[in-house]
Amino acid sequence: MNLRERMQPDAAVDWLRVREDFPILRRSIHGKPLVYLDSANTAQKPRQVIEAVDRFYREHNANVSRAVHQLGEEATALYEGARDKLAAFLGASHRDEIVLTSGTTMATNLVAYSYALPRLKAGDAIVVTTMEHHANIVPWQLVCGRAGAHLKVAPITESGELVVEKFVELLTPEVKLAGVVHVSNVLGTVNPVKRLARECRKRGIPLLVDGSQAAPHLALDVKSIGCDFYVITGHKMCGPTGTGALWARRELLETMPPFFGGGEMIREVKFSGTTFADPPHKFEAGTPNTAGFAGLAAAVDYLQGIGMANIAARERELLDCATRRLNDVPGLRIIGHAPDKAAVISFLIDGVHAHDLATLLDQEGVAVRSGHHCAHPLMQFYGVAATCRVSLAFWNTEAEIDALVEAISRARELLA
Amino acid sequence: MNTAGLHFRAATAADVGAIVALTESAYRGDASRAGWTTEADLLDGQRTDTREVAGLIARPGSVILLAERGSVHDGTAPRELLACCHVEKQGDACYFGMFSVRPDGQGAGIGRALLAEAERHARDTWHCRAMRMTVIDVRSELIAWYQRRGYRRTGEYRPFPYGDPRFGIPKRDDLRFEWLVKEL
């Protein structure tokens, strides 16, 4: 199926039946049905993923790539199978372009230390945007600090959109890399990564796209985007924690030295010198989270089984519904109004602290996130210490949005 | 490899016209499609002009090497220009560029021989430790050819000169150059 087909929603999905795949959603919290609205923090897991992890330990547990026995073969096949599925999910040209990591943070740090640091010198710069998660700020700050380089930050508008012209203006010759979030975890803004990649390419500047919040919600094709690095995390896309991936062009991976050293990433070790395995294995030192990747492979199957286009369309419905309902709440202000937006709504209520509100909502069984969302600079841009954030997934319902709004109303009465 | 009778020499001002014609035929238009690799699908317009070539010949630490066939001694038989390249000393390394082999002569080892001569010149005459070049990064078949000659990709890029028609008119808006390097 090509990307155009993947982006078209097809036959109606029975969303209530899909919801039944998530055992945790049957839980009660403080005597109330759980209303989980924190998927941007971490997604809940369908039974297919839970069973894949369980099955791994019950039936296939062994170390990967270092045992000739049957279980070793099975574990290796599951681990490498996850690489195949992620390659297809991301539209990679080749499975060897997928480095399996513990998540986005490790993937970005790998690029920071293995690609950027050896190429940075004093006076160089890395471009990011105001809306980045700390995971796409701090690794660059660390390597810039070592090299005497600095960060340049592209601004956003009050509505939460990247000012693309300003981003492009920052792409000057001393810039050695740019890092941009695909979908903001706070604002929901979907950045025009294809356009940004084109502008970076023309200037000879590699682009890393942080796809943590995009992978669970959008059909992806890294070749079509035209970036050089794309990083994702498994736990936000229905997979287990401690899983993720870096996609990079193969020729770039070949130029990068290993990041971690240890077992499984070598060709030959001598005390006089060690030679390394080819990419991607030279970046995968030590025993990996094999059970987790068995689960992530199941998560990819699960999402693709529903269809990313169907997921995007359903989440758009839920976003529209939640935005409409929240806009009716007196004193509630939504932060982030980009026209192209994922199902994330950050908001503030006059006179109510975000943590207090989240605590009271929890008493009603409603789980939302409050705080800075690992995006201090963005909070500083809006001049707030914290926001409440509702993040929706395809398994959520309009009834849950009603429950959220009712819980907010009760909380407001208590806090007024 | 059919490189018998191949002679190498540094170009002079008298060669400018022939070099421009050869380079244009190797890089641009339908003429270039006769060779095994071309960038005619990526770029229109010119690759170079007489002013640029004359400048490269006149500049100190810069040479355009020619590969020719035919007698160079008796001065009677016409010499046939088959390939050319530009080599320039830049610090400890040399820059290699404008590599052109006549399209109907490609695949016969002429380019390989000229590249080796350019490396010899860089190493023995200018005492350079490395040869560097930039290649449009989507020309994977050309990059693979250089890799077989010992060059490695660096993962470092330089911008394509968009908006400067002296270097051609791009048919795509996402072109960039990648640096290749070989230690000599």
Tell me how far apart the alpha carbons of residues B99 and B102 are, in angstroms, rounded to a whole number: 10
Size of interface A-B (CB pairs under 8 A): 42
pLDDT class for A2, splitting at 50, 70, 90?
Answer: low
Rounded (10°) CA dihedral A381, A382, A386, A390? -110
Contact partners, residue A121, CB within 8 Å, separation at least 6? A147, A148, A149
Does B164 contact chain A (CB < 8 Å)?
Answer: no
The mean pLDDT value for A279-290 works out to 93
User: Which chain A residues are Cβ-neighbours of B162 within 8 angstroms?
Assistant: 202
SS3 B168: coil
Of A119, A173, A202, the CB nearest to B175: A202
**Tokens 């990068």 -> residue:** A256
Taking CA–CA distances from B160, the nearest residue in chain A reads A202
User: Which chain A residues are Cβ-neighbours of B143 within 8 angstroms?
Assistant: 251
The candidate with the shortest Cα–Cα distance to A39, out of A235, A170, A179, is A235
Tell me how far apart the alpha carbons of residues A41 and A375 are, in angstroms, rounded to a whole number: 13
Q: Is A273 left (phi over 0), alpha (psi -120 to 50) or beta?
A: left
pLDDT of residue B12: 93
Rounded (10°) CA dihedral A288, A283, A118, B153? -160
Taking CA–CA distances from B147, the nearest residue in chain A reads A251
SS3 B34: coil
> What class has domain A3-33+307-415?
alpha beta
pLDDT of residue B110: 92
Rounded (10°) CA dihedral A295, A287, A143, B151? -100
Q: What's the Cα-to-Cα distance from A176 to each of A128, A230, A267, B60, B163, rounded to whole Å?
A: 12, 17, 31, 31, 22
Choice among A294-303, A315-324, A369-378 with the minimum mean pLDDT: A369-378
Which run of H or of E encompasses A178?
strand A175-181
Highest mean pLDDT among A334-348, B20-34, B64-78: A334-348
pLDDT of residue B37: 76
> What class has domain A50-304?
alpha beta
Of A115, A204, A255, the CB nearest to B159: A204
- B159 CA to chain A: closest CA distance, Å? 4
For A351-399, write each residue's pLDDT tens digit. 888 899 999 999 999 999 988 888 888 888 888 888 999 999 999 999 9
Where in the sequence numbering do the catalytic residues of A fall? 374
pLDDT class for B106, splitting at 50, 70, 90?
Answer: confident
Of A201, A252, A255, the CB nearest to B174: A201
CB atoms < 10 A from the CB of B114, how many? Answer: 23
Tell me if A205 and B174 make a contact (CB, 8 A cut-off). Answer: no
Q: What is the CA A106 to chain-centroid distance, rounded?
A: 12
pLDDT of residue A390: 97
Q: Suggest the residue from B134, B153, B164 to mutate for an interface test with chain A (most A CBs closer than 10 A).
A: B153
User: Which chain B residues are Cβ-neighbours of A225 within 8 angstroms?
Assistant: none
Give yes or no for residue B76 having a pLDDT over 70: no
Tell me if A256 and B155 make a contact (CB, 8 A cut-off). Answer: yes
| Partners of A389 in beta bridges | A346, A369
Tell me how far apart the alpha carbons of residues B82 and B110 are, in angstroms, rounded to a whole number: 8
Tell me if B159 and A252 make a contact (CB, 8 A cut-off). Answer: no
Give yes or no for residue A8 having a pLDDT over 70: no
| Partners of A390 in beta bridges | A345
Does B136 contact chain A (CB < 8 Å)?
Answer: no
pLDDT class for B21, splitting at 50, 70, 90?
Answer: very high
Tell me how far apart the alpha carbons of residues A277 and A251 are, in angstroms, rounded to a whole number: 15
The mean pLDDT value for B18-45 works out to 80
Rounded (10°) CA dihedral B45, B50, B52, B55? 180
Which is it for strands B130-136 and B176-183: parallel, antiparallel or unpaired? antiparallel
For A210-253, write each residue's pLDDT tens digit. 999 999 999 999 999 999 999 999 999 999 999 999 999 999 99
pLDDT class for B3, splitting at 50, 70, 90?
Answer: low
pLDDT class for A80, splitting at 50, 70, 90?
Answer: very high
Q: What percent of chain B has pLDDT over 70?
A: 93
Does B152 contact chain A (CB < 8 Å)?
Answer: yes
Of the two residues A187 and B74, the one the predictor is more confident about is A187
CA-based diameter of chain B, in Å?
50
> Could you tell me the residue ranges of all domains in chain B?
6-130
CATH superfamily of B6-130: Gcn5-related N-acetyltransferase (GNAT) (3.40.630.30)
pLDDT of residue A320: 96
The candidate with the shortest Cα–Cα distance to A94, out of A205, A313, A251, is A251
Tell me how far apart the alpha carbons of residues A285 and A102 are, in angstroms, rounded to a whole number: 12
pLDDT of residue B75: 56
For A129-153, write each residue's pLDDT tens digit. 999 999 999 999 999 999 999 999 9
Q: What is the ipTM of this complex?
A: 0.74
Give yes or no for residue A265 having a pLDDT over 90: no
Does B162 contact chain A (CB < 8 Å)?
Answer: yes
Q: Suggest the residue from B152, B154, B176 to mutate for an interface test with chain A (most A CBs closer than 10 A).
A: B176
pLDDT of residue A4: 52
User: CB of A203 within 8 A of CB of A255?
Assistant: no
- B154 CA to chain A: closest CA distance, Å? 6
Q: What percent of chain A has pLDDT over 90?
A: 82
What is the pTM for the complete model shown? 0.89
Tokens, residue A261: 């050293």
**Tokens 């372009």 -> residue:** A97
Tokens, residue B183: 């230690």
Of B152, B174, B178, the CB nearest to A202: B174
Sign, Cα dihedral of A8, A184, A91, A264: negative
- Edge to edge, the sheet with strand A369-371 lists A332-335, A344-349, A387-391, A369-371
Which is it for strands A207-210 and A175-181: parallel, antiparallel or unpaired? parallel
> Could you tell me the residue ranges of all domains in chain A?
3-33+307-415, 50-304
The mean pLDDT value for A274-291 works out to 91
| Partners of A369 in beta bridges | A389
User: What type of residue is A333?
Assistant: R
The mean pLDDT value for A404-408 works out to 95
User: What type of residue is A203?
Assistant: R
pLDDT of residue A260: 86
Give yes or no for residue B173 having a pLDDT over 60: yes
| Partners of B170 in beta bridges | B43
Give yes or no for residue A6 having a pLDDT over 70: no
Tokens, residue A345: 């709504």
Q: What percent of chain B has pLDDT over 90?
A: 59
pLDDT class for A77, splitting at 50, 70, 90?
Answer: very high
For A9-43, write each residue's pLDDT tens digit. 666 899 999 999 999 999 999 999 999 999 999 99
Which is it for strands B93-101 and A369-371: parallel, antiparallel or unpaired? unpaired
| Interfacial residues of A (vs B; Cβ cutoff 8 Å) | 115, 119, 173, 197-198, 201-206, 226, 251-252, 254-256
The mean pLDDT value for B108-118 works out to 93
Tell me if B173 and A198 make a contact (CB, 8 A cut-off). Answer: yes
User: Which chain B residues are Cβ-neighbours of A202 within 8 angstroms?
Assistant: 159-160, 162, 173-176
Tell me if B159 and A203 make a contact (CB, 8 A cut-off). Answer: yes
For A173-209, write each residue's pLDDT tens digit. 999 999 999 999 999 999 999 999 999 999 999 999 9
Give yes or no for residue A7 having a pLDDT over 60: no
Check residue B45 and report its DSSP letter: S
Tell me if A252 and B160 make a contact (CB, 8 A cut-off). Answer: no
The mean pLDDT value for B128-137 works out to 94
**Tokens 């039974």 -> residue:** A47
- What rounded mean pLDDT belongs to chain A? 93
